[in-house]
Structure 1
Amino acid sequence: MYLGLDLGTSGLKGLVIDEGGAVQAEASAPLRVARPAPGWSEQDPADWITAAQAVLRALSAKVDMGAIAGIGLSGQMHGATALDASDKVLRPCILWNDTRASVQAARLDADPRFRAISGNIVFPGFTAPKLVWMADEEPDLFGQVAKVLLPKDYLRLWLTGAHVAEMSDAAGTSWLDVGARDWSDDLLAATGLGRDQMPALVEGSAPSGGLRDALAQEFGLRAGIPVAGGAGDNAATAIGLGIARGGQGFVSLGTSGVLFAATDGYAPAPETAVHTFCHALPGTWHQMGVILAATDALNWFAGIAGASAEDLTAGLGELQSPGRALFLPYLGGERTPLNDAGIRGAFVGLDHATDRNAATRAVMEGVVYALVDCQQALAATGTQLDTLLAAGGGARSDYWLSALATALDLPVQVPQAGDYGAALGAARLGLMAATGAGADAMPLPPIARSFDPVTDRKQAFQDGYARFRKAQMAIKELS
């Protein structure tokens, strides 16, 4: 059997699969985000370890942990986990959706080497500007930094004792030469750091170290079993869905929203604000359009409305044409295509007819339009998608998926019941690291349903998107 551990923003999930890929057990533990100042988002890495311990204990009550032959990791990207020379955490981890380093990001992005070497804009949420923020605002702590780890790689340190990262997650730091799949000494030096402060690099399907004896004894695992390099959360989700070839993609409606496209080679286009990252398999890459609030936007509105997101969406029925009300889902800035940490959300076009259902649809449509923005940005790089698989908690909403298919003018396919997310991708990478298996270990899932574009609603969604773009430009001016 093989274990995948997925360190998300709101929780840590463990999933055990057998040799054929069937799920044998799963468990999860919640995590909380601290927001000590506007635009800040932090977690204590000690909480990740506590969550991992809880998950491993829960799994040990369900399966024979001694039968696990490999472990894979996935996790939230971009977080800056700064350690001193004794591996002590210097400060809470600055997370992916933290925008405090917008000034530092702009400063780095103005250096043409960053886009040329990393293949990406330096976004405020990426790792490098956070370390520059530390240098500016916490110089005493910055002077003690001996290693910088991404969140899942701090979990790896606990598991193996090794400082190791892998290509897909490292690509989101602004320190990686994404084409060469290696740290860039020039980019590190530009942020006051050196290669010795970075973890070693492996491919996602390769072993990164062996499980420590003490943990093996504590949780009934075998000492020394390989821990795979793993992947950032979106690349791991792609592995879970079997997506690694050009034309294949998925749309994720999670806390954030992602339009993910596997590519046949490295083709950066940073001016589009599309992310061009290494994939989790050797010699592969992918592109992503990323929005910062998807289900996060719906959950925010649910809190305002005093109802659960499930209650808000349960009575929406079949897809309707967009109404007059618009919602811009920029609760904490935006990435693709705006690259604007300061822009903020808004309702536009409210009137007496805007009831709870109309406002709910407007929020969901706003997320859809933001993903159309991502589709347009991907198209500007030459990347086209044939079909999309649906992932994330928001994919449980038929209304949302029908709206997406109609606005994107693409079929959106829903896998059969089962977990095809990042934890499964991590477990598959653990299998690959333990057995040497390749892409044959990540088949496409069987499809339960397909949402086709609703023909008589397409023009209405095109018109709604045009209004959304006008409102977007106005809100940019106000923000």
Structure 2
Amino acid sequence: MTTAPLDPASTVLGIELGSTRIKAVLIDGECAVVATGGFEWTNELVDGVWSYSMEAVRDGLREAVADLAADLERRGGGTLATVAALGVSGMMHGYLPLDAEGGLLTPFRTWRNTFTQDSAAELTRLLGLNIPQRWSVAHLHHAVTRGEEHVARIARLTTLSGYVHHLLTGRHVLGVGEAAGMFPIGADNRSFDPELLRAFDEAVEAPWSLADILPQVAVAGEDAGVLTAEGAALLDPSGALRPGIPLCPPEGDAGTGMVATGAVAPRTGNVSLGTSAFAMVVLEEPIRSLHEEVDLVATPAGAPVVMAHSNNCTSDLNAWVSLFSELAAAVGSQVDRDALFEVLLGAAADGETGPGGVLAYNFVSGEHLFSLPEGRPMLVRRPEGGLTLANLMRAHLFAAFASMSHGLKVLRRTESVPIDSMVAHGGLLRTPEVPQRVLAAAFAAPVSVGASASQGGAWGMALLAAFMLRGGDRSLEDYLEEVFEDVEVSTVTPDPEEVAEYDRYLEAFERALPLERAATDLL
């Protein structure tokens, strides 16, 4: 571990490029948040590919950091000159191939794309482990087998967090948690699996060796480079942010989700809720058998993790909330968005999801957990099914967690994966109690939410950067135990009746999936 003397006034900066927002969080020596900033953005469907422009990446980084600096000044907390370390996170996996000069060879292909289905299936058979459609190696295989022109010019392959880290430091490096979603990690939990690398090279005809284009892997606490003058100017044109600041290994939002919830010890789990959703459980022993519903990844320290990832979570729910916001405006009432969420999700507490009732499908994009190549948001019910506000919102909330719950339940039926606790984070949890209760029912396990949950992955990234400086000889697990020692936490124990209700809803959801597939074919 790296240690360094710190001025008591020093701060640590964490940045996360999420699906709908680029967020920056500044923490002090006690890991408390002293300023935040953000930039709203959204993906674009261009020629059938979900993507973000790199111009938007650069603009968004500057805007988020400028917003944070303004917040810091408003709070009387000084300037960005206090920053002693920083770290960058991004939405996991996807495809960013670079040429020898670091130029991007194709538009960013995000985790949301599901056109890699054939490649994912072929690699799963080849490697004997589940290779999801969003993993970088599935996108790479797709490009190679389709004979895409840029393949011969690939010098480096990375993810969004790795790309931004390279912009800031000039180094091609990736934290082990994010690297585990590019290609399987080996038994040492610190590098890509050499046997599987060889298997890929032998089976896939390409003008390079896979090991040569993948990034260097680093674990939490290791030095991953320093902020260059160009990187500092990119983040903060004002010049307050100084070159030479050390950066920790970049991670994906899965890794920062684990850290932001303190769930890095065996038998603990966490749930991240956003445009996508994923549930992760830290394993006591690695699972090397094939389960197509789950990924085998790692904590930022390299411990084995099983993940159930859903491409769809809150997007359709957000669209319905926006619809109700339009209705309120049309009748002359302006309602704060957080207040509207609280009203609508509060109504869900009194809803019913019985037979023939409202059934919501939240598939804005394709969903690999149900082998859906494309999404068609849909709402169905029997004629006698009660269409009330409470029933509608309860169905939407149940649907938001359905795919993720399906994946984890398949795993728990086939493997011994004990879970002592689940911790949840994400913006949806700004609405108290009801989403947490539904999550507890979906997982049939206690679900905790910390007071810092809404800060999400940017705060988790700041904690990883702070660990690089202050971890000393402690493990990440021990360090986070200290961080979370005084964090206020609320825990909901699942109600048996709600667990049974959720199971019934999930069964109906799965049974009626042919409707969703028909909608994909016909609409």
Q: Taking structure 1 as the reference length, what is the TM-score of the superposition?
A: 0.89
Which letter maps to 1:146? Answer: A
Which has the higher mean CA deviation after the structures are superposed, 12-21 or 293-302? 293-302
Structure 1 position 423, deviation (Å)? 1.0
How many angstroms apart in 2 are the aligned matches of 1:319 and 1:300? 21
Structure 1 position 419, deviation (Å)? 4.7
SS at match of 1:280: coil
CA RMSD of aligned residues (A): 2.7
Give the share of equivalent positions with the same residue, in percent.
21
How many angstroms apart in 2 are the aligned matches of 1:138 and 1:92? 17
Structure 1 position 92, deviation (Å)? 1.0
Q: Note if 1:441 corresponds to 2:479.
A: yes
Listed one character per residue, the Cα deviations across residues 4-59 of structure 1 (whole Å, up to 9, x for unaligned) are: 11111222111111111111111111222110244x21112232122112223333
Q: Note if 1:313 corresponds to 2:344.
A: yes
What is the aligned counterpart of 2:402 among 361, 369, 372?
Answer: 369
Which letter maps to 2:167? Answer: W
What is the aligned counterpart of 1:17 among 24, 27, 52?
Answer: 27
Q: Note if 1:384 corresponds to 2:418.
A: yes
How many angstroms apart in 1 are the aligned matches of 2:224 and 2:490? 38
Q: Note if 1:55 corresponds to 2:64.
A: yes
- Mapping of residues 29-428 of structure 1, within 5 Å: 29-38=39-48, 40-61=49-70, 62=72, 63-111=78-126, 114-115=127-128, 120-137=129-146, 139-174=148-183, 176-177=185-186, 180-183=189-192, 184=194, 185-189=197-201, 190-191=203-204, 192=206, 193-194=208-209, 195-216=211-232, 218=237, 219-281=239-301, 283-302=302-321, 310=341, 313-314=344-345, 316=347, 318-323=349-354, 324-336=357-369, 338-341=370-373, 346-351=378-383, 353-379=386-412, 380-397=414-431, 398-416=433-451, 419-428=454-463
Q: 1:461 to 1:80 in 2, by over 3 A?
A: closer
How many angstroms apart in 2 are the aligned matches of 1:101 and 1:407? 29
Counterpart of 2:36 in structure 1 is 26
Counterpart of 2:513 in structure 1 is 472
**Mapped contact 2:315–2:362 kept (Cα < 8 A):** no
Which letter maps to 1:467? Answer: A
How many angstroms apart in 2 are the aligned matches of 1:454 and 1:394? 21
Which has the higher mean CA deviation after the structures are superposed, 190-199 or 9-18? 190-199
How many angstroms apart in 2 are the aligned matches of 1:381 and 1:314? 34
SS at match of 2:225: strand
How many angstroms apart in 2 are the aligned matches of 1:382 and 1:477? 36
Listed one character per residue, the Cα deviations across residues 219-275 of structure 1 (whole Å, up to 9, x for unaligned) are: 323332211003211211211221111221122221111112122332234325211
Which letter maps to 2:224? Answer: S
Structure 1 position 477, deviation (Å)? 7.8
Counterpart of 2:3 in structure 1 is none
Which letter maps to 2:110? Answer: L
Structure 1 position 72, deviation (Å)? 1.5
SS at match of 1:347: strand
How many angstroms apart in 1 are the aligned matches of 2:382 and 2:436? 24
Stretches of structure 2 that go unaligned for 5 or more consecutive residues are: 1-10, 73-77, 328-336
How many angstroms apart in 2 are the aligned matches of 1:108 and 1:124? 10
Stretches of structure 1 that go unaligned for 5 or more consecutive residues are: none
Structure 1 position 89, deviation (Å)? 1.3
Q: How many pairs are equivalent?
A: 470
